[in-house]
Amino acid sequence: MSNRIITYSEAIREAIGQAMEADPSVFMLGEDIGIYGGAFGVSGDLYHRFGAERIRDTPISELGIVGAAVGAALVGMKPIVEIQFSDFTAQAMDQIVNQAAKIHFMLGGELSVPMVLRAPLGSGTGAAAQHSQSLEAWFAHVPGLKVVMPATAQDAKGLLLSAIDDPNPVIVLEHKLLYKTSGPVTEDAVRTPIGVSHVAKHGKDAVVVATGVMVSRALEAAAILAEKGIDIAVIDVRTLSPLDMGPIEDAARATGRVLLVQEAPKHVGFMAEVSARLAEGRSLYYLDAPIKRLAGLDVPIPYAPQLERSVVPQIDNIVSAVEDLMREP
Amino acid sequence: MTNTIDPLLAHPGQELSANAETARTTLQGMWAVRLFEEAVDSLFARGLMHGTMHLSIGQEASAIGASAALRATDFITSTHRGHGHCIGKGADLTRMMAELLAKQTGYCRGRGGSMHIADAATGNLGANGIVAGGIPIAAGAALAQKMQGKDNVVMCFFGDGATNEGAFHEAVNLAAIWQLPVVFVCENNKYGMSFSTEKSMHVEHVADRAAAYGIPGVRVEGNDADAMYLVCQEAVDRARSGNGPTLVESVTYRWKGHSKSDKNLYRTKEEIEEWRAKDPIVQFENKVIERGVLTREDVDAIAAITRDKIRVAIQEATTAPDSDPAELLSSVFRAVQA
Ligand SMILES: Cc1ncc(C[n+]2csc(CCOP(=O)(O)OP(=O)(O)O)c2C)c(N)n1
Ligand SMILES: [Mg+2]
Secondary structure (H, E, C), chain B? CCCCCCCCCCCCCCCHHHCHHHHHHHHHHHHHHHHHHHHHHHHHHCCCCCCCCCCCCCCHHHHHHHHCCCCCCCEEECCCCCHHHHHHHCCCHHHHHHHHCCECCCCCCCCCCHHHCCEHHHCECCCCCCCCCHHHHHHHHHHHHHHCCCCCCEEEEEECHHHHCHHHHHHHHHHHHCCCCEEEEEEECCEECCEEHHHHCCCCCHHHHHHHHCCCEEEEECCCHHHHHHHHHHHHHHHHCCCCCEEEEEECCCCCCCCCCCCCCCCCHHHHHHHHCCCHHHHHHHHHHHCCCCCHHHHHHHHHHHHHHHHHHHHHHHHCCECCHHHCHHHCCCCCCC
A281: pLDDT strictly greater than 70: yes
Please state the atom number of ligand 1 nearest to the C-alpha of residue B56.
Answer: 21
Q: Flag whether B10 is in a domain.
A: no
Cβ(B201) – ligand 1 distance below 6 Å: no
Q: How many domains does chain A have?
A: 2
Q: Flag whether B338 is in a domain.
A: no
A324: pLDDT strictly greater than 70: yes
Distance between CA atoms of residues A189 and B288, nearest Å: 64
Cα of B192 from ligand 1 centre, angstroms:
6
Peptide bond into A247 cis (omega under 30): no
Name the nearest CA neighbour of B260 among B36, B59, B33, B50.
B50
Distance between CA atoms of residues B8 and A87, nearest Å: 46
Q: Do residues A47 and A139 share a domain?
A: yes
Cβ(B161) – ligand 1 distance below 6 Å: yes
Q: Do residues A176 and A231 share a domain?
A: no
Q: Do residues A140 and A216 share a domain?
A: no
Find, in chain B, the residue whose alpha carbon is nearest to that of A108.
B108
Q: Flag whether A177 is in a domain.
A: yes
Query: How far off is chain A from B134, nearest CA to CA, in Å?
Result: 8
Work out the mean pLDDT of chain B and round it to a whole number.
97
Distance between CA atoms of residues A103 and B116, nearest Å: 9
Q: Flag whether A230 is in a domain.
A: yes
Q: Quick check: A146 contacting B, CB < 8 Å?
A: yes
What pLDDT score does A2 carry? Answer: 80
Q: Which of A10, A31, A82, A131 is catalytic?
A: A131
Q: What confidence category does residue A96 fall into, taking pLDDT thresholds of 50, 70 and 90?
A: very high
Of chain A residues 279-308, which have a CB less than 8 A from chain B? Answer: none
Distance between CA atoms of residues B79 and B65, nearest Å: 17
What pLDDT score does B145 carry? Answer: 98
> Radius of gyration (Cα) for chain A, nearest Å?
20
**Contact (CB, 8 A) for B277 and B218:** no
Find, in chain A, the residue whose alpha carbon is nearest to that of B106.
A108
What pLDDT score does B169 carry? Answer: 98
Phi, psi dihedrals of residue B206, rounded to the nearest 5°: -60, -40
Cβ(B162) – ligand 1 distance below 6 Å: yes
Q: Which of A62, A249, A263, A308 is catalytic?
A: A62
Q: Flag whether A96 is in a domain.
A: yes
Cα of A162 from ligand 1 centre, angstroms:
37
Inter-chain residue contact B116 with A99, CB threshold 8 Å: no
Q: Do residues A176 and A213 share a domain?
A: no
> How many CB contacts within 8 angstroms connect chain A with chain B?
150
What pLDDT score does B52 carry? Answer: 87
**Contact (CB, 8 A) for B89 and B122:** yes
B84: pLDDT strictly greater than 70: yes
Q: Flag whether B75 is in a domain.
A: yes
Q: Flag whether A266 is in a domain.
A: yes
What pLDDT score does B105 carry? Answer: 97
Q: How many domains does chain B have?
A: 1
What pLDDT score does B337 carry? Answer: 85
Q: Do residues A11 and A68 share a domain?
A: yes
Query: How far off is chain A from B31, nearest CA to CA, in Å?
Result: 26
Residues belonging to chain A: 329
Is A191 exposed, middle or buried, given 0-12, 13-18 or 19+ CB atoms closer than 10 A? middle
Distance between CA atoms of residues B130 and B125, nearest Å: 14
Mean pLDDT within B237-252 = 98
Q: Flag whether B246 is in a domain.
A: yes
Q: Taking the CA atoms of B181, B187, B191 and B196 in sequence, report the sign of the dihedral they define.
A: positive
Residue whose Cα lies nearest atom 20 of ligand 1: it is: B192
B253: pLDDT strictly greater than 90: yes
Q: Do residues A15 and A125 share a domain?
A: yes
Phi, psi dihedrals of residue B67, rounded to the nearest 5°: -65, -30
Q: Do residues A221 and A170 share a domain?
A: no
Which CATH number belongs to the domain containing residue A47 in this structure? 3.40.50.970
Find, in chain B, the residue whose alpha carbon is nearest to that of A24.
B148
Inter-chain residue contact A108 with B143, CB threshold 8 Å: no
Of chain B residues 70-109, which have a CB less than 8 A from chain A? Answer: 75, 77, 106-109
Cβ(B222) – ligand 1 distance below 6 Å: no
Distance between CA atoms of residues A241 and A75, nearest Å: 25
**Contact (CB, 8 A) for B239 and B181:** yes
Partner residue opposite B170 with nearest CB, options A63, A72, A110 = A63
Query: How far off is chain A from B95, nearest CA to CA, in Å?
Result: 12
What pLDDT score does B1 carry? Answer: 77
Indicate if A131 belongs to the active site: yes
Query: Containing H/E element for A49?
Result: helix A46-54
CB atoms within 10 A of CB A293: 18
Indicate if A62 belongs to the active site: yes
Cα→Cα distances B94→A224, B48, B298, B315, Å: 68, 16, 25, 8
What angle in degrees, to the nearest 10, is found between the helix axes of A62-74 and B166-177? 70
Which CATH number belongs to the domain containing residue B104 in this structure? 3.40.50.970
**Contact (CB, 8 A) for A295 and A271:** yes
**Residue from B115, B143, B177, B184 whose CB has the most chain A CBs within 10 Å, to mutate:** B143
Q: Flag whether B251 is in a domain.
A: yes
Work out the mean pLDDT of chain A and round it to a whole number.
98
Q: Flag whether B3 is in a domain.
A: no
Partner residue opposite A61 with nearest CB, options B137, B170, B337 = B170
**Residue from A106, A111, A243 whose CB has the most chain B CBs within 10 Å, to mutate:** A106
Coil vs helix vs strand at A57: strand
A193: pLDDT strictly greater than 90: yes
Q: Quick check: A98 contacting B, CB < 8 Å?
A: yes
Q: What confidence category does residue A143 fall into, taking pLDDT thresholds of 50, 70 and 90?
A: very high
Q: Do residues A105 and A217 share a domain?
A: no
Which CATH number belongs to the domain containing residue A287 in this structure? 3.40.50.920
A111 contact residues in B (CB cutoff 8 A): 118, 120, 125-126
pLDDT per position as a tens digit, B8-61: 999 999 999 999 999 999 999 999 999 999 999 999 999 999 998 899 999 999
> Radius of gyration (Cα) for chain B, nearest Å?
19
Q: Given A160, A186, A212, which residue is the final one in a domain?
A: A186
Please state the atom number of ligand 1 nearest to the C-alpha of residue B162.
Answer: 15
Ligand nearest to the CA of B159: 1
Inter-chain residue contact A75 with B108, CB threshold 8 Å: no
Partner residue opposite A108 with nearest CB, options B112, B144, B173 = B112
Distance between CA atoms of residues A182 and A11, nearest Å: 9
CB within 8 Å of A90: residues ≥ 6 apart = none
What pLDDT score does A63 carry? Answer: 98
Q: Flag whether A125 is in a domain.
A: yes
Q: Flag whether A242 is in a domain.
A: yes
Q: Bridge partners of A199?
A: A235
Q: Flag whether B224 is in a domain.
A: yes
> Taking the complete model, does pTM exceed 0.90, yes or no?
yes
Q: Flag whether B329 is in a domain.
A: no
What pLDDT score does A1 carry? Answer: 59
Q: Do residues A81 and A101 share a domain?
A: yes
What pLDDT score does B159 carry? Answer: 98
Q: Flag whether A227 is in a domain.
A: yes
Q: Quick check: B174 contacting A, CB < 8 Å?
A: yes
State the residue range of the domain holding B169: 16-315
State the residue range of the domain holding A65: 3-186
Name the nearest CA neighbour of A209 among A175, A240, A234.
A234
Q: Given A186, A211, A241, which residue is the final one in a domain?
A: A186
Q: Do residues A163 and A52 share a domain?
A: yes
